[in-house]
Structure 1
Amino acid sequence: MILDIELMEKSLLTGKWDAEKSASFDSSQSAIADLVKDVVNGAFREPLTSSCAREIFKIRSNVDLDQPFDSLFNLSTITVDDERAHELLRLTLAVACLHAFVQANWTGPNLDVKPSDVIVVSPETHPITDDILDAKAISELAYGGEPAYHLAESPTFLRLAQLLINPPYQHIQSAAWWRLRVALVHQQILDESVALPQSVLSSLDPLIHNVAIHPHIAGRLLLEQGLLEHHFTHDKSAADYFIRAARATGLQYELTGALGKRTKFQQTELSQLVLLAESRETETGNEQNATEHPAGDGDGDVSDTQATANVPEALALNDDTLLERTEFTSSTPSASNSLLSHLNPANQRPLHPLDQCILLSLCLNVRNTSPSHGLTSEQMSPYVERVISHPRNWSIHTMALLLRSRLESSRTRTVERSTLQLQALVDQMPTADSTTSERLLYFHSISLPSKWEMERELALRFLSLGVVKSALEIFKRLEMWEEVVKCWQSMERSDKAIAITRDLLEGRKAEAEVVISRGKATSGNRRQIFDSAREAKLWCLLGDLEPENALEHYSHAWSISKETSGRAMRSLGGYHFAQGDFAEAIVYLRRAVTINPLLSRSWFTLGCAYIREENWEGAKEAFARCVMIDDEDGESWNNLASIYLRMGKKADSEDAKLDEESANQVPFSNKMLAFQALKQGLKFSYENWRMWANYMIVCVDVGELSEACRALGRIVEEQSAKIGAECVDEDVLDRLVDAVTRAPANPDDAVEGDGTAQNVARNPNEGHGLLKRVTDLIERTILPRVSSSRIFRAYGRLLTWESRWADALKAHLDGYRCSTAGTLEKGEADVTKWRAAVGEAEEIVDMLRNFGPRVEGSNWKFQGSSIVRNFLGRSRGFEDEPEWSRLIELRDELRKE
């Protein structure tokens, strides 16, 4: 009988063993099947210490133990004739190593096997300890210039998993998927994310088509790809993958409203947010329950009773006002036309665990505030509550409680439960309240933090509450020295921070017992090699604390890392940038982004350095990379627009501020690129008035006057309370009014369309197409907040164009009251100012003569005479000026009229 490779691959991927099909295996297959079954069931000791494993993990004779892991073993040595079985065994051991590492550092309970139990040393070789193996593994797991977390338990298993999964597989299709899983686990132990080789992602493309016939397996793959995108903060792309995963599994969900109560004393029923969700049904029409297998893929789940009993405790809120959860009083949602209107919001059926993972993944971007880029925090709560209400799996329920804790951390009435729940989740990790297989079943389908990351999150929560001492104790235990330093600095004890860092570097303070034993078991030279990435980071930290010696410390960090530390290069680049040595900063920052091109802050600083050196091409590349990494970086979009307006000309100064004069010196295509960049950036920096000002100028220059109108309105809204009428760019306002009034006032005279007012093709940037925007800008945004003579005159011109004579006359009169003439003080001695005021008085009289006869009931003659008479009364002392006689003549003319 041929070995059923596909069945065993599926068992490893889904974490479920099909006992019925495996019963037909013959004796030649049973040995391999037993190993796969043990790995699926979370019993890693047996496979990793089996005879097959001992052949692989036997250290070669007469080999130097200082050599890398891939030189210590002959990974192709397996006494199996069938090449397909050979690859399956190698995959099985890789999965066992990976999940052993995950059990030790993520899910618990405590691991019952150690690296020294697995690795076989020949008698003539010196015995090797777990500390030596783990130190070597930590050193080799440093990647892209980023060190791995040094207190991770049994990192040797992750390194062995890499060595087993990375070589080519000819017969095992799922090997590419396991490379993705290994890579994502590896990313989570690095200080900063590092770009993956393109081959890791491209090799998944064929697999997607092969698993499409299995809905839940396809859903898992799409979900895990989305989690990888989320890890790299590509939230839009991640959300797309999550939605595709929901389609693959057949999950239907809808956020809607239903009548209910949220507080204990609420009398009136109000519409409350609720998530209606339903998993795919089986062919028999019954809902997928915990003991059934989904149609077509065999991806079943633990029973409801077992899952409910073996999940972390959800702490009660115990608030004197808020209910524990929303009480829905309606059995139907508000939207009756919904596909899910048959569901009762207060009593929905349990979801498939994989569908629960998808819902939780949609809530990962907790920092999100824009509905266009995912769920907002308010929208996430019903998603999390939908999962918490039906516990199905230990890891999924843990993740749901963690997300609820994050959502509740910023609310006064829930912050206490948020912190206590997070503490409870940290405490329950080592317990054995559920099986290893259950905890690992959906581990790759959720974004569960490692033990140390969860403790770090708890410490940060303590910091946000001002409990610095408790946070400091956690950071010390985790040996996260950067956070320790920040705690001491927050307490204004920088001397303590410096002392700790120096003690670590000079050996007076050791990093935990494992480092002490490592120092006893190895030579000083080897210890330095093992910890070079960590030591380089500590030297950089000392450079941050001692600015006077920063250059020396950063350079030393680069040297001891053997020129691999991205942190050292970033620090050196930042140091030279702060010193104003931008050319030197560029050299170091270029190397930093070469080592780790995923850190947008390095690209941003590099772009700023290029701007100072007036290297516009380099600056464009740097800021383009910034927005590629994070397309919500509004400041980078703004700088990119500034660069487009600088390219092709010599800048007059280092200031990158945009103005019309500089914008007119660049090609129109560059202006349009700047327009698009600013438009994109303003989506994420809506309150940045400087960006709106730049956007307004560029819009005027490229003819996008409708957008210029919107920009001017935003500037007034943001700045009017601070600087008054100065927030209005009156030149732009005049151009907007000119763009309206240069078109025919009568719509029938329009030349576009077929010549009728009903079918005119309105240009939104001139004439009647722009009229409403400009009118709303002046009437609803500007005048309720600020006013000036020029603003009123512009408004008056607009009203005149519309033949609104009474309103136009009133606008000009209001403008006169704000003008120099209207505000002239009695006894004014400045003749230049007075002559300007004379012109304004004569102008308003002309307006009265022109508009007055067209306004029914207007006593314009008396108004004009009063204006001139009052102005003359405030102008005593200027009788000898020639303009005085003109005013006397004007007064007499008005009297005669």
Structure 2
Amino acid sequence: MNLDAETIQKSLLLGRWDSSLSSETNPVASLAKAVVDGDFRTVLTSSYAQEMFKANPQASVDQTCTDLFSWHLPSVMDEQERELVQLILAVSCLHAFVQVNWTGPDLNFKPSDVISFPLDQSPITEQALTAKAIAELAYGGEPAYHLAKFPILFRFAQIILGLPYVHIKYAPWWKLRVTIVHEHLLDEPAPLSPDVPEFLKPLIGSTTSDPDLTGRLLLERGLLEHVFSHDKAAAEFFVHAARATGLRYELTGALGRRTKFQKNDLSQLVLLAESRKGDDSTVQHGPTHEVNDLHTAVDGGNSRKLPETLALNDDTLLEQTEFTSTFAATGQSTLSHLDPSSQPPLHPLDQCILLSLCLNVRNTSPSHGLTTEQMSPYVTRVISHPQNWSVHTMALLLRSRLEASRTRTVERSTLQLQALIDQMPTADSELAERLLYFHSIPLPSKWEMERELALRFLSLGVVRSALEIFERLEMWEEVVKCWQSMERNDKAIAIVCDLLEGRKEEADSVIAKGKDISTSRRTSMDTVREAKLWCLLGDLEPDKAVEHYEHAWKLSKETSGRAMRSLGAHYFSRGEFGDAIACLQRAVAINPLMSRTWFVLGCAYIRLEDWEGGRDAFSRCVAIDDEDAESWNNLATTYLRLDEAGKATHYGPPRKDGTQTDKAITFTNKTLAFRALKQGLKHSYDNWRMWSNYMIVAVDVGELSEACRAQARIVEERADKVGVESVDEQVLERLVNAVTQASDDPDHAVTAERQRDTTGDVRSPNEGRGLVGTVLDLLERTILPRVSSPRIFRTYARLLTWQSRWEDALNAHLNAYRCGPAGTFEKGETDIEKWHEAVTDVGEMVDILINFGPRVEGSNWRHQGRSILRTFIGRSRDFEDEPEWSRLSEMLDWLRNEE
């Protein structure tokens, strides 16, 4: 039998049947086409499926799904054909599961129609198979969502794709897709199986000849990274996917109006984007027949039923930005030919890529990627040309999320989300269309969409409506939070106790399941979820928390990461750090993706002065989330407490003047601490405490230009609140010393980072003339306009003296005098110590006038000196009997005689 196996595989991947394939005379090709068309009933009730899902003669409810069925096809088939049929059945099971739980509408068959039991064998009920599949889908200590419909179909797909494949090169891609769907089934993302990176390797070079396949693969790999909140890695994959498909896009500005009453055109953000073109200058991806389909979508889009796009109906905001200019401010951009208000349609795959770039809605600053304001043009660009049911649904969902926090758009945001949920069960569009780009977007499951709606109600204070949804979804942790928000902790405890004691059944299916399964078997299958309920009870009853968490741990047979996380946090809050470490180590061993768990573990290590353990824990924190500024800060702290061999030391932290307490802290570890703080500050720019730590360490490692930058940030953040306390005067003096005490000889520049001045000399930016501009800028533009003190002015004067700026230096000394003890000495003051300090100040000021005055052209320094002395003498007549009084008189007489 001649089969074009590779073309069939590509058709399955792309969700479009290649017209070059003949499916009429080939039963295997016919099955593949049925999968592409969404006719899963035909595929899963075929003779091939009957063979694959034939129950073993000794099958019983106590067996796992792997042992329950034959998983074999007729041996008369050749190897390639058998593997291809396996893949077709796996894809059919996967997409049938996706249909009933993600895209809708409901299936037209049941799992019992798929499975064949021998005539003399009692069939296992669907409820039993559902319970078995849910139990087996629990992974990494995280339970699978127990109300997912027909999970046995997904389990079938998993098992079939786990069979060996030699002739089917795209089988690993389907394993990737199954992995992503599985992660969405779990309560929290669990670490990938060790074999996942291995089976992804063959995919890298398998699609280079087809840009669309390459784009899809890169996009889906990015979505896998997104599942684990690896936003930077995900964004890189998304950008590479855009390059692969030929998508060109640019965020820019164009004149337009955003409100109904706006009279003047202002620059508005707009995304210019264009898919690659074919020979006929139309949007083209893939084979020619796809172009025709796209024309149908564009030209006849109104005839296709798409998700309802709700109008804003606001009395001020326009539905969308009205651009009054046909030119965007793109400069030399290759997209400058596009009219912002009339851009061409994008290919749906390119729309998926643009939406993926907007997934990280939590962004608050450009350092995190796209901000909320920047995301809106991306979503608007996709919504403006609906091309596919699922893609348009995802675009409306993202717009709903973006609008959720704005007063004028929050109503539409919530109603739009409700409309998207209501459309799921309907058959308003073909199933094949809904599944076409399902794997290219992170479309939430039905229960996740409803959960999001409930959380939206909570944010609006509509607690009762949220509670109803959570109870229907049996998301008991959220139910408990709702009751706690209503200050009904007793009600929350009662619900959890009822669930644990069986007085509150969770669903009709659970009751039905109980009729077919023994109590012991039912208990063993539900242990992961039951353990989570015991943890929830431990949260609600702090006095019995340890007992409940330990019971959950034993019940789960030591697989519940939630139990150990909760118990570790409980011990930490009570200062029992040794016990906390033991529990948290078990928790991260089960699920090492929990950044918060690593963070608490690192803090526990620090409390016990186990700096090596703390370093390892916080290193894992920043590896999971490199935007965790607090973890970077704590990582720097651990480096400052380690000696050269990496072993823990008990030395104190650096003193405020930047010098270490013990010289055993090596330069290497100080440099690592400096780098950690520098990374953390990218994501916590307003944290003055981190800037302070960074400044001290920067001074210690010789990065003085960075120390200047840090001191400037601290002053900008704190000067209005604490005044001169925002300046570390010791650090400031060290910075000036680095300028004034360095040699002018360029050969003495010691740092690796050097710069050339206009004369060609090599200068270090951390000393001498290479640093002077930075220090002057710090003093003149940042510090002195905000705060002042005698020490700061004298430090500034010393720098000016080094530059031979005599007049400026003299004025700086005079300013130091004015805000010092002598300049602020009031008549009637009785503090003898303050008077002695003031006398010293007066003497020093007179000496400075004598030394600097003659160097300043036109300076009447003698008159200034006499004025200072007369003023101070007049204010301190009460101290005429003091021995130092004569010193004041002698200085005044000397100045008079000099003139």
TM-score by length of 1: 0.95
1:886 aligns with 2:887: yes
SS state at 1:698 partner: helix
Distance change (3 Å), C-alpha of 1:880 and 1:622: same
Contact 1:852 1:858 in 2 (8 A): yes
Q: Deviations over 1:848-895 (max 9, x none)?
A: 222223333433222222222222233344333322221221222223
**Which residue, 225, 228, 233 being the options, matches 1:237?**
233
In the other structure, the counterpart of 2:848 is: 847
2 CA distance for matches of 1:359 and 1:658? 50
**Structure 1 residue 793: Cα displacement:** 1.0
Distance change (3 Å), C-alpha of 1:650 and 1:303: closer
Q: Encode CA deviations 1:501-550: one digit per residue, 9 max, x unaligned.
A: 11111112111222222223322212211211111001111111111100
Q: Distance in 2 between matches of 1:259 and 1:213?
A: 41
The match for 2:629 is 634
Which residue does 1:317 correspond to in 2?
A: 312
SS in 2 for 1:112: coil
1: CA distance, partners of 2:114 / 2:285 = 39
Distance in 2 between the 1:754 and 1:211 partners?
A: 46
Report how far residue 14 of structure 1 moved.
Answer: 0.8
The match for 1:63 among 59, 77, 82 is: 59
For 1:436, the equivalent position in structure 2 comes to 431
Farther off after superposition, 750-759 or 730-739: 750-759
Cα deviation for residue 366 of structure 1 reads: 1.4
For 1:656 and 1:767, locate their aligned partners in 2 and report how far apart those are by CA, in whole Å.
25
Check the 8 A contact 1:716/1:727 in 2, yes or no.
yes
> Cα 1:80–1:879, aligned 2, differ >3 Å: closer, same or farther?
farther
Is 1:134 matched up with 2:130? yes
Q: Judge conservation of contact 1:290–1:300 (CA < 8 Å) in 2.
A: no
Q: 1:56-205, aligned counterparts within 5 Å? A: 56-78=52-74, 80-205=76-201
Give distance in 1, aligned partners of 2:800 and 2:708.
Answer: 17
The correspondence for 1:252, drawn from 245, 248, 253, is: 248
Distance 1:638 1:657, change over 3 A: farther
Residue 565 (structure 2) aligns with: 570
Equivalent in the alignment of 1:685: 684
The 1:809/1:170 distance shift into structure 2, 3 A limit, reads same
- The residue type paired with residue 739 of structure 1 is A
Read off the aligned partner of 1:188 and give its amino acid letter: H
Tell me, yes or no, if the aligned pair for 2:60 and 2:124 is still in contact at 8 Å. no
1:722-761 matches, cutoff 5 A: 722-743=721-742, 758-761=759-762
Single out whichever of 465-474 and 436-445 deviates more from structure 2.
Answer: 465-474
Alpha-carbon distance change, 216 to 607 in structure 1, aligned in 2, over 3 angstroms: same
Match in the other structure for 2:3: 3
Contact 2:73 2:82 in 1 (8 A): no
Residues 6/307 of structure 1: CA separation in 2 closer, same or farther (3 Å cut):
farther
Do 2:399 and 2:413's aligned partners in 1 also have CA atoms closer than 8 Å? yes
Written as runs of structure 1 = structure 2, the 5 A alignment for 1:716-727 is: 716-727=715-726
1:204 alignment partner, SS class: helix
Once residues 842 and 306 of structure 1 are traced to their aligned partners in structure 2, the CA distance between those partners, rounded to angstroms, is: 92
Are residues 88 and 291 of structure 1, via their aligned partners in 2, closer, same or farther at CA, if it must alter by over 3 Å?
A: closer
Shift in alpha-carbon separation, 1:450–1:834, aligned structure 2, 3 A:
same
| Structure 1 equivalent of residue 826 of structure 2 | 825
**SS of corresponding position for 1:470:** helix
Partner of 2:585: 590
* Match among 277, 293, 298 for residue 304 of structure 1: 298
Tell whether 2:697 aligns with 1:698: yes
Match for 1:476 among 466, 471, 475? 471
Change (3 A) 1:764 1:347: same
Q: Which moved more, 1:775-784 or 1:633-642?
A: 775-784
Aligned length: 891
Amino acid at match of 2:740: T
Matches within 5 A, 1:151-550: 151-288=147-284, 292-293=288-289, 303-304=297-298, 307-308=301-302, 309-550=304-545
Q: Which residue of 2 aligns with 1:615?
A: 610
Which one is further off, 857-866 or 487-496? 857-866
Aligned mates of 1:203, 1:399 — CA distance in 2: 29
**1:458 shift after superposition:** 1.3
Cα–Cα, structure 1 residues 346 and 204, in superposed 2: closer, same or farther, change >3 Å?
same
| 8 A contact 1:87–1:169 mirrored in 2 | yes
**In structure 2, what is the Cα distance between the partners aligned to 1:896 and 1:80?**
124
Distance 1:388 1:576, change over 3 A: same
Quote the sequence identity (%): 65
Question: How far apart are the structure 1 equivalents of 2:453 and 2:236?
Answer: 30
Structure 1 pair 306/478, CA: closer, same or farther in 2 (3 Å)?
Answer: farther
Post-superposition shift, 1:174? 0.8
Task: Name the SS for the 1:325 alignment partner.
Answer: strand
Give, in whole Å, the separation in 2 of the partners of 1:781 and 1:667.
Answer: 33
The Cα RMSD (Å) is: 2.5
Match of 2:876 in 1: 875
SS in 2 for 1:662: coil
Q: Report SS of the residue matched to 2:320.
A: strand
Please say if 1:557 is aligned against 2:552. Answer: yes
TM-score of the aligned structures, taking structure 2 as reference length:
0.95
Structure 2 CA distance, aligned partners of 1:442 and 1:94?
18
For 1:43, the equivalent position in structure 2 comes to: 39
C-alpha displacement of 1:729: 0.5
The amino acid of 2:30's aligned partner reads D
Q: Distance in 1 between matches of 2:746 and 2:831?
A: 48
Question: What is the deviation of 1:663?
Answer: 6.7
Distance 1:109 1:786, change over 3 A: same
**Amino acid of the structure 1 residue aligned with 2:385:** H
Once residues 236 and 718 of structure 1 are traced to their aligned partners in structure 2, the CA distance between those partners, rounded to angstroms, is 29
1:14 aligns with 2:9: no
* TM-fit CA distance, 1:750: 10
1:778 is aligned to 779
Q: How has the CA–CA distance of structure 1 residues 745 and 176 changed in structure 2, closer, same or farther, with 3 Å as cutoff?
A: closer
1:717 alignment partner AA: E
Output the amino acid matched with 1:266: Q
Aligned residues of 2:757 and 2:763 also touching (Cα < 8 A): no
Distance in 1 between residues matched to 2:492 and 2:97, nearest whole Å:
33
Distance 1:861 1:340 in 2: 71
> In structure 1, the residue corresponding to 2:759 is in which secondary structure?
helix
Specify whether residues 682 and 353 from structure 1 end up closer, same or farther in structure 2 by C-alpha distance, changes over 3 A only. same
DSSP 3-state at the match of 2:864? helix
The residue type paired with residue 767 of structure 1 is G
Unaligned 5+ segments in structure 1 are none
Per-residue Cα deviation, 1:230-281 (whole angstroms, up to 9, x for no partner): 1111111111111111111111111222222222222222222211111111
Change beyond 3 A, Cα 1:627–1:198: same
Counterpart residue type for residue 779 of structure 2: I
How far is 1:672 from its partner?
0.7
CA contact (8 A) 1:663 1:701 kept: no
Cα contact 1:254–1:275 (8 A) shared by 2: yes
The alpha-carbon deviation at position 381 of structure 1 amounts to 1.2
Aligned 8 A contact 2:128 2:513 in 1: yes
Asked whether the 8 Å contact 2:654–2:661 carries over to 1, the reply is: no
Q: 1:583-619 CA distances to partner (integer Å, 9 max, x unpaired)?
A: 2221111111111111111111111111122222221
- The structural deviation recorded for 1:293 is 3.4
Partners of 1:95 and 1:167 in 2: CA distance: 14
Measure the CA separation in 2 of the matches of 1:563 and 1:382.
48
Give the deviation of 1:432 after TM superposition. 1.0
| Alpha-carbon contact 1:663-1:671 (below 8 Å) kept | no
Q: Separation in 2 of the partners of 1:215 and 1:632?
A: 33
Tell me how far 1:395 sits from its aligned partner. Answer: 0.2
| Secondary structure at the counterpart of residue 124 of structure 2 | coil
